[in-house]
Amino acid sequence: MKKRIYWLSLALVAGQAGHAFAQDATDALRYSRLQFGGTARTQAIGGANVALGADFGNLTSNPAGLGLFQKSEVHLTPGIGIGQSDSHVDGSASAAQNDTKNSFHIASTGAVFASRRPDDDQTTNWRGGAFALGFTRLADFNTAFQYGNTLNTRVAGNYTLTGDDQSYLASLRRTVGYNGYTQASVDRLRAQGQSGNFTSLNGLAYGAYLTTIAKDRNGNDIGVASTTRKGPIGQAESVISKGSVSQFDLGYGANYRDRLYLGIGVGIVSSNFTQTRNYTETETDATTHLSDYTLHDELKTTGTGLNARIGAIYRATDALRIGASIQTPTFMRMTDTYSAAFTTTFTAQGNDVVATSLPSGPVGVKVLDQEFPLYAYTITTPFRANGGVAYTIGKHGFVTGDVEYVGYSQARLHNDAQDSNGDDYSFTAENSDIRASYRNTVNLRVGAEGRFDIFRVRAGYARYGDPYKIDNSNERAQNFYTLGAGLRQGNFFLDLAGVYTSYHQYHTPYDLGGDEPLVKVDNSRFTTSITAGITF
């Protein structure tokens, strides 16, 4: 069962050789799978505000809600995130390893400027409206996990696999004429080694003496071989990610006869993502030269994008509101910066063919690093649609619920040939993988608020559907549990929210068609936010 994300994936050896780190379906999902954000009030009710209105969070969910504002306001919402993970390799007897990743951030800031005609002014049915602008954090990439594992000889089907057969070095081996690998690919690998200018991760591994070009008896190139190892292979990896997706919005909501509210908004998206990884393999057999190696790499991705949304809220009765909104796909221009370094330890003792044939002998600790050229491309994230219902209980509070449709299989990667760091690569295979891997899904959000004089008490729950087709048990759905409190005193308001998030992910460090280790990561994160604002 493929529940995998391949982290140490190579640039496509036979095709996408112009840049080192291959963009794939994982990138498209990362920038498509957003969370609810906004003020502490919005977060405390699980983000369920599509039909509620008079909430700054409407700027990113349903701008029609701006039409319900009676007063103008400004606010600021800082937040702190505390996250942890427990990771273990499926089938391994080793205990799960724990890691943490915390962050400080600004969850939201902005202003709403409301206007309303006097009740005795009946010259038009349009009773007023509100213009809003502000910043909202919509995705949090701050995570960290680590694990350890030992690759032992095992039987898979009719084959016996050694630890080396299951290792990362096994994923570097290629044979000319198979799986699209060509003589031109071998020539590129050789040219990188001769020039010392590495343009792919497999080229860097070749330069670090982890692989060599294999030949037949007649001296013809037949593919790529790796340094052979014996006995159990020890593995260890740590992955640290940070960054976010934020959106600056402009929106307007209009009020028609205090019954129908219409809104429109434009979002300018800014994203940043950094991932740092350290992957190590070790072995202790005295007959082999290679003792251990570590791959340290770092990927930095920045992007900007644009989207738009429209929405409506209808007040069916004084207590019941029904809302709906749609958001266009977000078009994002992305730039990747990638660097990698292999640190190897070769001993003088050993008799494996690959190492002893090297011209100068890689004895001792060696470091080979490379910062690869920038690469520019674009991502189009899915269309989104929201529907919601809110019921107010007089002056005592409200209950509200939303349903959101997200078409994850509609995300697409494209080249950016107009950028000096781009090219004309088609991304046909990657987009086919997106369609095959992801499904359209539904997110659910519910929330409630109780009012007690100047105080507010809030609670909510949200479940964001599993986007993976293969997960029949929906094990990678995200669950959000929220609580909050608020204070309204004159023109001042103060709100506090806590959001507990739990979700699972699966990770594989490389691709061997099913023989690679599968790591299950159980993630949890608690985010607390506080909003201070004034009305005028």
Give pTM, 2 decimals. 0.90
The closest alpha carbon to 388, from 51, 68, 162, belongs to 51
User: What pLDDT does residue 21 have?
Assistant: 64
216-226 confidence digits (pLDDT tens): 899 899 999 88
What's the burial of 196, exposed, middle or buried (CB within 10 Å: 0-12/13-18/19+)?
exposed
In a domain, residue 34? The reply is yes
161-182 confidence digits (pLDDT tens): 999 999 999 999 989 888 788 9
Least confident of 122-126, 184-188, 435-439, 492-496: 122-126
The closest alpha carbon to 403, from 460, 447, 444, 372, belongs to 444
Taking the alpha carbons at both ends of the chain, their separation in whole angstroms is 57
Average pLDDT (277-291) is 89
User: What pLDDT does residue 353 have?
Assistant: 54
* Residue 477 lies in domain: 25-147+236-350+371-535
Indicate which CATH number applies to the domain containing 118: 2.40.160.60
In a domain, residue 208? The reply is no
User: What pLDDT does residue 461 have?
Assistant: 98
In a domain, residue 223? The reply is no
In the predicted model, is pLDDT for residue 16 greater than 60? no
In a domain, residue 325? The reply is yes
172-211 confidence digits (pLDDT tens): 998 988 878 899 999 999 999 899 888 888 899 999 989 9
User: What pLDDT does residue 352 have?
Assistant: 62
Q: Percent of the chain, pLDDT > 70?
A: 93
User: What pLDDT does residue 355 have?
Assistant: 44
Whether 425 and 401 have beta carbons less than 8 Å apart is answered as no
Average pLDDT (372-385) is 95
In the predicted model, is pLDDT for residue 247 greater than 60? yes
Cβ neighbours around 122 below 10 Å, total: 9
In a domain, residue 123? The reply is yes
Sign of dihedral through CA atoms 170, 172, 175, 177? positive
| b/e code 3-12 from CB counts within 10 Å (16+ = b) | bbbbbbbbbb
In the predicted model, is pLDDT for residue 228 greater than 90? no
In a domain, residue 528? The reply is yes
Average pLDDT (392-404) is 96
The Cα 404–Cα 136 span in angstroms is: 18
Tell me how many domains the chain contains: 1
Whether 201 and 10 have beta carbons less than 8 Å apart is answered as yes
In a domain, residue 88? The reply is yes
Average pLDDT (413-432) is 94
In a domain, residue 389? The reply is yes
In the predicted model, is pLDDT for residue 9 greater than 50? no
308-356 confidence digits (pLDDT tens): 999 999 999 999 999 999 999 999 999 999 999 999 998 877 666 544 4
The number of CA neighbours under 13 Å toward the Cβ of 93 is: 3
In the predicted model, is pLDDT for residue 7 greater than 60? no
The Cα 179–Cα 173 span in angstroms is: 11
In the predicted model, is pLDDT for residue 12 greater than 90? no
User: What pLDDT does residue 344 have?
Assistant: 93
What amino acid is encoded at 45 in this protein? I
The Cα 324–Cα 458 span in angstroms is: 23
Whether 400 and 48 have beta carbons less than 8 Å apart is answered as yes
Sign of dihedral through CA atoms 173, 178, 183, 187? negative
